[in-house]
Structure 1
Amino acid sequence: MILDHSRILIVDDNENIRDVLEEILVLEGYEVYSCSHAEEALDQAKTVLPDLFLLDIRLPNIDGIELCRILKKDPTTSSIPIIFISGLLGMEEKVRGFNAGAADYITKPFHNLDVLIRVNTHLMLRKNTLQLKSMNDDLEQKIQERTAELRVALDMAEEANDAKSDFLSNINHEMRTPLNGVLGMLKLMGTLPMDDDMEMYHSLAEFSARQLSAVISDILEYTQLDAGSMKLRYTSFSLYECLNKVCLLQKTHAENKGLDLSWTLPDAPAFFVSDEIRLVQIVSNLLINAIKYSVSGAITLRCTLTEVLKIEVRDQGPGIPESRIEDIFKPFIQLESPYTKEHNGTGLGLAICRSLSLALGGSLELESREGEGSCFTLVLPRQKEEPGKTDQQSKDILPLERPPLILVVEDDTINQYLLEQILESRGWEVLQAMNGEEALEELNSSQPDLILLDMGLPKKSGYEVLKEVRSMGQYDDLPIVAVTAYSHKEDLERFEAAGINDVITKPISEEALFQSISRLLALGKH
């Protein structure tokens, strides 16, 4: 087999041998060069760069084995195959040649066919080696290019994820802040005398606002869960007290539809460590769904506590086709047509419940048959209690010796007015600040007992105010409560690290606000 354009360099001090080899190889179409000693061979190798060397072992000055070593040490010639041509050799000399880097031997006197077969074989091996190296180089280049592309894509994805997180935090703030004002003003309005028409208008407005609040909360909570940015708080709590309140609350709604809601719970001393708020959210949603979609019959909740917590919510509603069971856990999926559906909702409730169950280390599954009702099963493991949480929460709230002075730092005038009215209704004194700079001035001049701090403020953010206050030294024990719409996990962790005492998310619950303020002020008296 002839390899076109292959170059062969013959090094032999015997001119006749050189001529014979050259004739054999030229007739086969090879490009042949020859020389008589090592020094000349090294010079020619630099200009010709052959594809194969044919070396005599016995050369003047530098022998063939030493020349082989020199060629193998040079990066430009190290990969070129070398075949020794010599007379009968002993095993020791052959070993020396192979150790120096030789690929093969041709023994003198040689046969033409023997020379051609060995030359062709090693040229083919070299050609294949070079092709493989070229392919590897191309592959390595492509891998490097692809890696660079993936790195750019990853950087872009991280930037997009950061932008998404910033957007969600911002939209969370921009939606919850005005909604807090709407719900708060409606609640204040409800304390005023109204005629029958005004009471109806007020009731309808409040109902619609709460529906809007539920929809917004569903959407924002799902985005938090999807982004892994929801903060969970593990505390020890009584399962009986927790679930009994949930069931009592939903029992009235069930009775209004002619449904019988019953429940079986562990005995009162049974305690469990998890996120109580999220457990209540999941169970409430399951009961609300059972009541919403049931026309008649019974709804039962059964809770057992062993190594894990297991809660079953069973109804006698219309049931769900087996082929659609997993669909109801997908976000924004509803089994009813949007044009004919009888029940309101975003289609996020069960998606949020399952995501919460997974975030809590558990599971939420459904067994259902069309026309036979449904059974949702929630399983949660025990979690490790966060240190310091329970003791702080469980301290009795003592009556205050005097009305506390509370500094409200809020840039939204409606929410500012709302907080002022809520606090003053308890007989508490209120100071106001519209931005971070005003808050710091008011703090130093008035020495309040507690600060309610919005985290999204002009000029100087609430987070910056918080860090600055804690860095002063004299306000290490001053209770500071974040009243904010920023509720992502990363936000809450930043607030806690900076020294916040509690977080009340908008739309605010008056009861939660009073409990937080009273507890923190009472703790300060111990």
Structure 2
Amino acid sequence: MKTILIVDDAPENILVIGKRLMQGFEVLAATSGEEALQLAHAQRPALILLDVKMPGMDGYEVLARLKQDAATQAIPVIFVTAANTAESETDALRSGAADFIHKPVNLDVLESRIALQLALKEQEQALLALNESLERKVAERTGELQRAKESAEAANSAKSNFLHNMSHEMRTPVHQIVGLLQLIQTQPDNPKCNAWIDQVVDSAHRLTGMFDAVLRVTELDSRMLATHPEPLDPATLVEEVVAPLRTRIGAKGLSVETRVAALNEPVSGDAEWIRHALHCYLDNAIKFTEHGSIEIAMQIEERSDEALRVCFTVTDTGVGFGPEVRARLFNLFEQADNSMSRRHEGSGLGLVTVKKIAERLGGGAGCSSEPGRGSTFWFAVRLGRGQPVPGPAGHGLQGG
């Protein structure tokens, strides 16, 4: 129930007005300006009926003090005055009164004026709330647009850096191919020709690998690749990835260990995609680990009637990285550290490809790391339980 404060130095006036208003409001009463100010500040009434002529502090001074107090300045005040001139009405409105009513008071008119002022106050509060809501939304939207702008600028910068790095990576084998072919052309009888030809082939393979990496990401984005589930054994699959790389691992003096959980049941999945994802992780681990060991593992995360969710991890004792790098490692066109990447060949698309492959196979990808303490890269996929159901033909992965 709303509260109305009646301020009048004549108790009989308060009694008459209060009796009428008590039917719909809680009524407070004050017989002096000082008492009115105290009650208004403490009780925060919805509206004040204020007598103009009172001993000591008159209505104009009371109203002025109400407007100076942040707690009461918004309370609508209706002057109740015996003055019945245009000048008195003008003075009342100029002083900040919401309305005025003449004595003797017509109680029906008074109730109508009170209802009008309370309705106006509610509308004002609703408009203020709406304005605050709109300002918040504008601020939020402005923040979103600013973040989107910064994100777009960062993505554009990352794309430019990526294209610059890719052009550098491609230019090196192209120059090697051109130079070696010129040597072969000008010195066809040189006994080194066979070695030069081998180098040309190796450089061509490096170029092909870069083109395949870009094509693979493009195909995954456009969903041109279809899955090809087939019976697979995770332990065999892991060994197929590790075996061709053991020479590189040994040449760096690293040890490698595999730990694959036994499934004890037939499963199916896209072995080619899983092999490629594992190869990307293992290749990175070899590149960025100078001493220590690498571990490839697989464990079961969850089972359902139709599928197993398994997680493959590759853990190394390499250089590691901080959370600011981890946050962008799997983003397209991003690399951990351009200065570090320049010491190692590659397109920088391997981690992006792993993430997209894992998502296409019903899982996800991520990593954890600390600078100087190595890294663990993981990806999860779903493997069907039992024999695979033949699906439609589609494009497969190309290249290594």
Normalising by the residue count of structure 1, what TM-score does the alignment of the two structures yield?
Answer: 0.37
Higher relative contact order (CA closer than 8 Å, sequence separation 6+): 2
TM-score, normalization by structure 2: 0.48
